[in-house]
Amino acid sequence: MNLDDLKFLIWERDKMDKKLYKLMNWPLIEEIVYSESSDPHRILGVQKAGNQTLVQAFFPKAKEVYLHWIQREKDKETGKLTDFAYDAKMQVADQDGFYAVLIPAKKLDGYYFRVLSQNGSETKVTDPYSFEPVLTKEDIVRFQNGIHYTIYEKLGAHPMVVNGVEGVLFAVWAPNCRRVSVVGDFNDWDGRVHQMRNIYDSGVFELFVPGVPVGSFYKFEMKLKSGVTYLKADPYANASQLRPDTASIVTDLSEFAWEDAGFIRRRPSFQNGSAPISIYELYLGSMMEKDKTGALPNYKVLAEKVIAYVKEMGYTHVELMPVMEHTMDASWGYQITGYYAPTARYGSPMDFMAFVNELHKAGIGVILDWNAAHFPKDDHGLASFDGTCLYEHQDPRKGVHPLYGTLLYQYERPEVSNFLIANALFWVEKYHADGIRMDGVGSMLYLDHGREGKEWLPNAYGGRENLGAIEMVKHLNSILKQRDPGVLSIAEDDAAFPMVTGALDEEGLGFDLKWNKGFVNDYLGYVSYDPYFRSHHHGSLTFSMVYAYTEKFLLALSHEEVAGGKPGLITIMPGMRDQKFANLRLSYAYTMVHPGKKLLFMGQDLAEFDGWNENEVVDFNLKTYPGHRGVLAIVKALNGLYKEQKALYELDEEPEGFEWINHMSANESYVSFARKGKNAEDLLLVVANFSGTAEEIKTGVPIPGKYKEILNTDAKAFDGSGVVNARALSSKEIECDDRAESITVKLAPLSLSVLKFSPFTKAEQKRREEENALILAKENLKHTQEEELLAQKKAEEAIRKAEALEQEAKAAKLAAKQAKESLEHARMHTMDALSAVEHEAEKLRNMKSKKED
695: annotated active-site residue: no
First to last CA, the chain: 191
Q: Which of 31, 127, 492, 561 is catalytic?
A: 492
The three state secondary structure string of 765-790 is HHHHHHHHHHHHHHHHHHHHHHHHHH
**Biggest CA-to-CA distance, the chain:** 219
What does the DSSP assignment read for 737-766?
TTBS-EEEEEE-TTEEEEEEEEPPPHHHHH
Angstrom distance (rounded) from CA 600 to CA 318: 10
Angstrom distance (rounded) from CA 209 to CA 207: 6
Q: What is the DSSP letter of 731?
A: P
According to DSSP, the residues that pair with 521 across neighbouring strands are none
Which positions ≥6 away from 560 have C-beta within 8 Å?
Answer: none
* 785 CB-contact burial (10 Å; exposed 0-12 / middle 13-18 / buried 19+): exposed
Angstrom distance (rounded) from CA 13 to CA 1: 16
Angstrom distance (rounded) from CA 853 to CA 851: 5
* 582 CB-contact burial (10 Å; exposed 0-12 / middle 13-18 / buried 19+): buried
Contact 709, 758 (CB under 8 A): no
What does the DSSP assignment read for 27-82?
HHHHHHHTT--S-GGGTSEEEEETTEEEEEEE-TTEEEEEEEEEEEEE-TTT--EE
CA atoms within 13 A on the CB side of 378: 25
Q: Which of 94, 439, 493, 652 is catalytic?
A: 439
> Chain-centre distance of CA 471, in angstroms?
20
Angstrom distance (rounded) from CA 13 to CA 65: 19
**One-letter amino acid of 762:** K
494: annotated active-site residue: no
Angstrom distance (rounded) from CA 302 to CA 296: 10
For residue 238, give the nearest of 158, 181, 169 by alpha carbon.
Answer: 158
For residue 318, give the nearest of 649, 640, 602 by alpha carbon.
Answer: 602
Q: Say whether the peptide bond before residue 574 is cis (omega within 30 degrees of 0).
A: no
Instruction: Give the residue numbers marked as catalytic.
Output: 439, 492
